[in-house]
Amino acid sequence: MSDMNTAMIEKYRNSFLSEVEANVEEGEWVKMCMQCGVCAGSCPLGDAWEHTPQKIFMMIRAGKRDEVLQSDSMWMCTSCYNCIVRCPRELPITHIMHGLAHYAKRLGIVPQGQPTAKFAQLFWNNLMKKGRVNELKLGISLYFMNGFGEGVKTSLKMKDIGIGMVKTKRMNPMEMLGGHAVKDLSGFQKVIKKAQELEDARLAKHGG
Amino acid sequence: MTEVVATNETILVVGGGISGMTAALEAAETGKKVVLVEKRPYLGGRVSQLYKYFPKLCHPTCGLEINQRRAKMNPNLTIITMAEVTNIEGEAGAYTATVKLAPRFVNDNCTGCGDCGKAVEAEFDDEYNYGMSKRKGAYLPHVMAHPMQYVIDPRIIGTDDAQKAKAACKYDAVDLDMTEREIKFPAGAVIWATGWQPYDAAKIQPYGYDRFDNVITNVEFERMADPKGPTGGKIVRKDGKEAKNVAFIQCAGSRDRNHLYHCSRICCMASLKQTHYVVDAYDDAQVTIYYIDIRAIDRFEDFYQTVRAMDNVKFVKSKVANVITDKEGNPICRGVDTEGYHRYENTHDLVVLATGMEPSVAKGDFPVDIVINREGFIEPDAANGGVFAAGSASDALDVNRAVQHATGAALKAIQVVNRVARAEA
């Protein structure tokens, strides 16, 4: 449990809905859910999740803080946007799910080994270096995400595809050495820094 | 059609459904001159297409008959059918209405004997049955149409069929030379009672109304239950199979920001009523009602509880996510219920979409300056002057409330023409 998590529990004692409204992106929409179930039924991965969006929203209102923030549901969302399109109340369901995932991450209570969370971190770290995604490095770091042995095994399994991509110039092996950056890398870093400041200011306002 | 005699003390009623008829009769019976303009060839509107009313499960034909009799007996009321108001100019107490008259090709000599209908061969989709059956090119819109006169479909004009109809008529009632006409007349006040239409179910893509034969709307189901309807009152599918396992999907279009913003108010009660049709038709009937919440308000609660208590009726608290079909064409409702969050896939014989009400005049199509709300209904607003909405043109209303509202509108219109009368006296 992080200090921030403890602080938030203390601050929003008994009102998880208020906590979500203040801290989760688009969280103020949660109370608008009328529990019709169209999102749950429309989700192509619906039966693979622990909780459907409909159920998550009800759990938020019921104050089931730990169950919600440690659910795998928001990490399973593939952003197909079926739920947003169908929702009779136009709730930005996909965004709320991502907002919940982000909030759980900030609180440091993402379930250990959550693969989507791990991959998201790899993607972010990769992107921040050069302002663009180095696909070669990202792919390889993905193979080695769960340890060296599995990484070697997956790499061998994928090697024909890799060679094929090099041959058809879909992949440049030289990218392994540093890789190229966006044209204005320092400009990119300034943008990110500014975004971080705005985010920090927003969090400070909500006492996070 | 005789010419319209009207003055600034005349009340114009636009729409001859249950609301327009009520408003027109209430006003005419107080001694006011009333002109009632109806687009269809007969009065009664959508109420004439209902089999039974909720909550008493009595027949609308009964009330319609009384209203038709009142209309026939009242010398103050002029009824113009197959007519559309195309423009209204002026202000309260001094309006000028322009009305376009479509040719009926049948004059007032018609006795409704039906000989022309027998002579004509061409057939068209029957609008009265929402296209579920065919009617002849010369036809009586329905068995108790008022006026009780045949109509000749303009599509047979110029064909042999038209000549056959003329030859068959013993009363010289067929007049093939009628043309579209436009008339103008004054009116002191206007009652706008253009009513509603069912929301286009094909727009609700996941339910497949446009793709599946066995997904129909509640208005079509209503015609099916009527012994005078396209199936002779039998609840059957297009392929002839008896529809014993019927699902109702509530809020099909209503309460959905992708479709209609508003709750249409009638659909819950309509489905509960139609559940009776299924249960009465088959001993081994099985009805499932998928709903978000049942809105059977105040005195309708008893009706809801009666249906709820039936052994062969199941209520599933869930808005169906989508409908698919199996190889036999049986519709399958899929979704997740809210009471336990169970995923379901239920096969039915027939799915009835409880489609909502939308105003029958689109927002931009009003031929008069009038305040329209987000949902397309007419707002009660001082800016409307002497134009008053009645019935479903003002909101999604059931018949009971529409009639009450129409009576109110009649009173408002009477006040305007009374002011005119005092000024002219």
Whether residue B286 is predicted with pLDDT greater than 80 in this model: the reply is yes
- Please give the average per-residue pLDDT across B412-417, as a whole number: 97
Nearest in space to A95 (alpha carbons), one of A33, A29, A17, A18: A29
pLDDT at res. A178: 82
Phi–psi pair at B91, nearest 5 degrees: -140, 175
Percent of chain B with pLDDT over 70: 100
Extents of the domains making up chain A: 3-111, 115-182
Phi–psi pair at A140, nearest 5 degrees: -65, -40
Q: What is the pLDDT of residues B308-359, one digit of tens each?
A: 999 999 999 999 999 999 999 999 999 999 999 999 999 999 999 999 999 9
Q: What residue has token string 């009726």?
A: B313
pLDDT at res. B172: 96
Residue among B255, B256, B334 minimizing CB distance to A41: B334
Contact residues on chain B for A42, CB-CB shorter than 8 A: 206, 321-322
- Between CA B142 and CA B151, with CA B146 as vertex, the angle to 5 degrees is 60
CATH assignment of A3-111, among 3.40.1130, 1.10.510, 1.10.1060, 1.20.1440? 1.10.1060
- Please give the average per-residue pLDDT across B365-374, as a whole number: 95
Instruction: Give the domain B200-356 fold.
Output: FAD/NAD(P)-binding domain (3.50.50)
- Please give the average per-residue pLDDT across B138-149, as a whole number: 95
Gap between the Cα atoms of B239 and B358, Å rounded: 30
Which of A33, A38, A50, A83 is the best residue to mutate to test the B interface, defined by the most B CB atoms within 10 Å of its own CB?
A: A38
Gap between the Cα atoms of B215 and B42, Å rounded: 29
Write the burial class of residue B132 (CB in 10 Å: 0-12 exposed, 13-18 middle, 19+ buried). Answer: middle
Report strand pairing: B138-139 vs B151-152. antiparallel
> In the beta sheet, which residues pair with residue B334?
B322, B345
**Which H or E element spans position B333?**
strand B331-336
Contact residues on chain A for B255, CB-CB shorter than 8 A: 34, 88
Q: Quick check: A71 contacting B, CB < 8 Å?
A: no
Q: Given its phi and psi angles, is residue B333 left (phi above 0), alpha (psi -120 to 50 degrees) or beta?
A: beta
Contact (Cβ atoms closer than 8 angstroms) between residue A41 and residue A88: no
- The Cα-based distances of A173 to A137, A151, A177, B90 in angstroms read 10, 18, 8, 80
- Between CA B210 and CA B216, with CA B212 as vertex, the angle to 5 degrees is 75
**Which H or E element spans position B421?**
helix B399-424
Residues of chain A with pLDDT under 70: 1, 207-208
- The Cα-based distances of B21 to A123, B16, B65, B128 in angstroms read 69, 5, 12, 19
Q: What residue has token string 């989760």?
A: A24
Q: Quick check: A44 contacting B, CB < 8 Å?
A: no
pLDDT at res. B18: 97
pLDDT at res. B278: 98
Q: What residue has token string 């030379």?
A: B177
Residue among A34, A46, A47 minimizing CB distance to B292: A34
Q: Give the pLDDT band (50/70/90) at residue B76.
A: very high
Q: Give the pLDDT band (50/70/90) at residue B2.
A: low
CATH 3.50.50.60 fits B11-102+180-195+360-424, yes or no: yes
Cis peptide before A92 (omega within 30 of 0): no
Closest CA in chain B for residue A82: B321
Q: Which residues contact A51 (CB under 8 A, 6 or more apart)?
A: A59, A67, A68, A71, A73, B341
Distance (Å) from the alpha carbon of A32 to chain B's nearest alpha carbon = 13
Gap between the Cα atoms of B256 and B319, Å rounded: 11
Nearest in space to B410 (alpha carbons), one of B3, B97, B37, B13: B13
Q: Do B322 and A41 touch (CB under 8 A)?
A: yes
pLDDT at res. A203: 77
Q: Which residues contact B271 (CB under 8 A, 6 or more apart)?
A: B218, B248, B250, B289, B352, B354
Q: What is the mean pLDDT of chain B?
A: 96
Q: Do A37 and B322 touch (CB under 8 A)?
A: no
Q: ipTM, 2 decimals?
A: 0.86
- The Cα-based distances of A191 to A120, A182, A183, A187 in angstroms read 20, 13, 14, 6
Distance (Å) from the alpha carbon of A40 to chain B's nearest alpha carbon = 6
Whether residue B133 is predicted with pLDDT greater than 90 in this model: the reply is yes
Q: Do A90 and B257 touch (CB under 8 A)?
A: yes
pTM of the model: 0.92
Whether residue B270 is predicted with pLDDT greater than 80 in this model: the reply is yes
- Please give the average per-residue pLDDT across B103-119, as a whole number: 96
For chain A, the first-to-last Cα distance in angstroms comes to 14
Q: Find the length of chain A.
A: 208
- The Cα-based distances of B32 to A93, B3, B93, B408 in angstroms read 57, 18, 14, 15
Give the pair of three-digit tokens for residue B193: 């009672």
Q: Which residues contact A69 (CB under 8 A, 6 or more apart)?
A: A100, A103, A104, A107, A109
- Please give the average per-residue pLDDT across B357-372, as a whole number: 95
Domain with CATH 3.50.50.60 in chain B: 11-102+180-195+360-424, 200-356
